[in-house]
Chain A
């Protein structure tokens, strides 16, 4: 059954030619020389005033990277990236600002246009504003502002750009950096390890529930630069944090590379909720320009009963190569992955997750929804594995795809590996699994079968979107009503 009109309209509203964030900001930038060499890495490290061990770490990664080959297994095709023609560091020339008044007004304007609040909303007459969000704003290679740092510090929460954390909390960074995504993990992660610039560092001390949502907003602005951010979040025993991430870039005819690494560590009883609304410039309808989004995101449920939850709404990027994963190491740990990926125009998405069950009684849930329109290709690629000791591991996977038009493609490549008899894995497509009882219930109350089905499925999808924090709900709103009618499984 083909997609319903309502869905078609919704997807059209976010088509590639409707991209709202394609403007450019003109400010003076300081850049490294073009191309990549040990000198460039030394330059980046010196710019950030890093400890010696960090420089060595980067150089090791760089030497390793030189021996590696770009992966080709994903279902995406693109012209080879000329790594020697990129700028690996670009920062606004003006010195690091101590207060908002010192930030280049052009940058402030940029964030205003994007709707990102860089000013801390003051408490008015004793009434605390609702839903406050601390923001770390990353502009090309550097963080330009981080809000609510002082207030967070009162709760013991460390929230700062990673370059600052390297200076102020080197022991913490050194302990955890690369412990989830090793330097040698894959081509893009190794490249990131060599040249990463800013990104956020979060540490939540034991027993603390982070008092507000934390967020980072990434903006690529400069031509011919790559953005290589690195995010590291550590939730110590019994803590909780919800972190959001957003990203946009100007409209340009050439492609730009974004190769990030995100590492999450959850210790005993801790919970991390990581949400992304990915809206990088997707290129035009002919497939010119757009961001290559090649990122490695992984969470390690290191402690017992820890929990990591990934939620992503993917609408941007020319090419996406992204698999937010959970290593369920601690006994009783939980992993979740909720994803909605919409591809339009000539976009290519190859995304999914890995749930690696190592500990006993670990559970994971994967809900993925891919919608392809235009001439795009949308692939779900996921791995669920239970190792020998993962007694009573449980997984439920549900991935649906929907095609709009006959020029696009939707693909599913799940890997399900079970090495433990007590592990119970289920993988299925929803459309065939709506319970007869629910259908009967709705039909008995006078709904047609199609209506009943849509109602049940939409209720289910809303469940997924409710995983998104309030702040993103608005952006996600337009996606909420996308119905699963016409899903091809």
Chain B
């Protein structure tokens, strides 16, 4: 094909302008931000001709670059949090972020579980906290424009450190709430460092108003040291017009374990990216996703699991339910490097199409350089099984209820992996709410 120089879109020009204005005001090293932004700028917003965004045209979805949100007033923050329902029932310590800014008054900074230390990101960046050197634990994420945009614009967040050997029972809930009437953007970065043998449970909820086209971009970096265990449940209940981008990058030490489950029902356009690096031997990972989509929505789950050490075990299970004219996207890639013998990787993406207009795009990739491994991938896509439906209806259930039950069972498989009972209950509740909204 001939060389085509694409014109810069309004959003791209807008982002460049915003960066010029913001870069010196934001805390921390301007150089790192500058590098990240130049990287982004060189490629621009990814579009469908960029392989990794083949099904998720961010350039088309992001028409305008919304200005970064200012810190809200105490009153506005309190009001906004009242509507936040994600994990509300779960017993946990909370850090509350409103429009991407940490609100200490609504956070349990002083009442954290033993062994857990939290530093607000603004403070850490200003003081040059050594932990800030440990951002981006997975190198591949640095080649991603969404992650680089986050690095360029990150305005707030938290550094969380869990002491070696600390088995923390009480979960920490990162509550992200958006509020406002005009379009705005947020960029938060959270770094979780689990020292050797630590155990920690993290909830993340993202909620916002329905009538505003806001643009959240959040990133969670996690370093899980040898023998440590991180359990993470994330809820995307963003407002109906949000363009929500998120990235989680995890570096796993020897014999460590990560459980991360993303439950997505919100946003008109969302992309959740997962980067996993198996850096130490015998690390294990359970990565699940449950996505529920209705008219006009697009949700993308993109996963990269890089096995760079011996004996890693990864289990990935993604479930997508599609209604209306929604589009579901799953892109998964398992890399097994030459050294990573005895790797055991299984990746599966299942999709249930509830309507004639919905569509699902699956791309489960394997890239294998070691000969003594077992890797599998599977993908299925189809409508609800008529036989099952008939069975339930024959027992007196009306069709919508029978369908609902089957959808619950279908998504339930992905939710089962959530170890923390409160979190699992909360996520089952999200599925029920979504089903109720459908009827």
Contacts and interface: CB of A to CB of B under 8 A. Distances in A.
Interface stretch (B126-134, B135-143, B346-354): B346-354
A415 B1 CA distance: 22
Given A406-B370, A412-B365, 16 more contacts: A69-B1, A404-B371, A406-B369, A410-B366, A410-B368, A411-B366, A413-B365, A417-B360, A421-B355, A424-B382, A425-B381, A427-B378, A429-B375, A429-B376, A488-B366, A489-B366
A68 B336 CA distance: 35
Contacts of A69: 1-3
B362 interface: yes
Interface string A389-416: 0000000000001011111111111111
Contacts of A410: 366, 368
Contacts of A73: 51
B356 A1 contact: no
B366 A418 contact: no
Given A409-B369, A425-B382, A488-B371, A432 B356 contact: no
Interface in A284-331: none
Contact of B368 (A411, A423, A424): A411
Contacts of A76: none
Contact of B370 (A403, A413, A416, A426): A403
Contacts of A432: 346, 376, 378
Contacts of A411: 365-368
B388 to A, nearest CB: 14
B371 A405 contact: yes
Contacts of B354: 421
Contacts of B368: 401, 403, 409-411, 488
Interface of A: 1-3, 67-69, 73, 388, 401, 403-429, 431-432, 486, 488-489
B372 A2 contact: yes
Contact of B374 (A388, A413, A427, A488): A488
6 contacts: A69-B2, A403-B370, A405-B371, A411-B365, A416-B362, A418-B351
- Secondary structure at chain B's binding surface: helix, strand, loop or mixed? strand
Interface of B: 1-3, 51, 336, 338, 341, 345-346, 351, 353-356, 358-383
Which residue among B336, B345, B353, B354 has the maximum number of chain A CB atoms within 10 Å of its CB? B353
Contact of B372 (A1, A413, A415, A421): A1
Contacts of A68: 1-2
Contacts of B373: 488
A459 B367 CA distance: 27
Contacts of B383: 421-422, 424
A408 B338 CA distance: 9
Given A68-B1, A414-B379, A423-B381, A1 B374 contact: yes
Contacts of B338: 406-407
A416 B381 contact: yes
Given A406-B369, A411-B367, A418-B351, A423 B382 contact: yes
A363 B373 CA distance: 32
B358 A421 contact: yes
A416 B360 CA distance: 8
B374 to A, nearest CB: 6
B361 A417 contact: yes
A486 B2 CA distance: 44
Contacts of B370: 403, 406
A64 B25 CA distance: 52
B189 to A, nearest CB: 32
B365 A414 contact: yes
A344 to B, nearest CB: 14
Which 10 pairs of residues, A with B, have the shortest CB-CB distance?
A421-B353, A489-B376, A403-B371, A416-B362, A424-B382, A412-B366, A429-B376, A419-B359, A489-B375, A427-B379
Contact of A429 (B365, B371, B377): B377
A408 B366 CA distance: 14
A417 B359 contact: yes
A334 to B, nearest CB: 19
Contacts of A419: 359
Contacts of A420: 353, 356
A424 B369 CA distance: 32
